[in-house]
Amino acid sequence: MKKKIVKVALAFAMTLSLVGLGSQQVSAKDETETITVGISPDYKPYESLTKKNKMVGFDIDMVSHFQKYLSEEEGHTVKFKYKKMDFDNIITQINGGQVDVGISGFTYSKKRKVEWSDPYTKTGQVAIVAADSDMSSVDDLKDKKLVAQTGSTGEEAAKEQSSDTTGLKDVQDIMNAIKANQYDAAVVDSAVAKEYASSGEYKVLDGSLKDEKNYIVAKKGNKKMIKKINKAIKEFKSSDDYQKLCDKYGVLPLDD
């Protein structure tokens, strides 16, 4: 009888042990990996805020697909968590370890000491003016009073055209200033210019100041993160969703 009791006790203990092990496996399997994203939601159609303070745009939808791809690839839940900030602070926050990546319509500049992902869309820097402006081409920008987003490649392109260039942090402030005739022209991303011109209050000048591509950035040396991001970009670009989102937001897809 005692032997039987001992056997039952041992079997019960083993059952508890297996249950405990099973809980650990489920916990490990359901572990959530969070990737923090530095973003400046003032760059429609890439990212902007609705009246209810909800972030929308091409990059936001793209990242939703990234979460699905990476969760399947990594075998656990991968989530992207946004941290809103001024565009010119994103690189500083990345290099300081406050965020993992920057996704905010980034274009390549050798001045930015970061790791660069593979490109995911085509773009370019163009000039936009008030609808009643007498300027028609980027050739008219020489020595004009220009404005661009602080820290952007648009600011670099504007300075190449005129020494009278001002940097502002928020694109909406830039466009309001153009409408109020505080500046002759603004230099912004082509998709952004197209979005604002659709209102009829602005027009895009003929010609491009710089042909570019959009990238995601991470801290210099964090190649593991960029490798992960590149997997998601590759999957995204090969999907039907890629062209659908490009069409939806008026963003130019890559040819490859």
SS in 3 state form for 189-256?
EHHHHHHHHCCCCEEECECCCEEEEEEEEEECCCHHHHHHHHHHHHHHHCCHHHHHHHHHHCCECCCC
CA dist., res. 92 & res. 80, Å (int): 19
Judged by DSSP in three states, 172 sits in helix
Contact 119, 217 (CB under 8 A): no
Among 84, 45, 65, residue whose Cα is nearest residue 214: 45
Q: What is the pLDDT of residue 256?
A: 66
Mean pLDDT of the chain: 89
- Calculate mean pLDDT across residues 59-70: 97
Q: What is the pLDDT of residue 59?
A: 98
Side-chain-side CA neighbours of 1 within 13 Å: the count stands at: 0
Q: What is the 3-state secondary structure (H, E, C) of 13-68?
A: HHHHHHHHHHHHHHHHHCCEEEEEEEECCEECCCEEECCCCCEECHHHHHHHHHHH
Q: CA 226, 232, 234: angle at the middle one, nearest 5? A: 100
Q: For residue range 66-119, list pLDDT tens digits in order.
A: 999 999 999 999 999 999 999 999 999 999 999 999 999 999 999 999 999 999
The structure tokens 């952004």 sit at 192
Question: Which H/E stretch holds residue 95?
Answer: helix 90-95
- Show Cβ contacts of residue 3 under 8 Å, excluding neighbours closer than 6 positions: none
Q: What is the pLDDT of residue 215?
A: 98
26: number of Cβ within 10 Å: 10
Taking CA atoms, 230 is separated from 36, 46, 119, 132, 234, in Å, by 16, 19, 9, 43, 6
The whole model's pTM is what? 0.81
User: Is 149 a residue whose pLDDT tops 90?
Assistant: yes
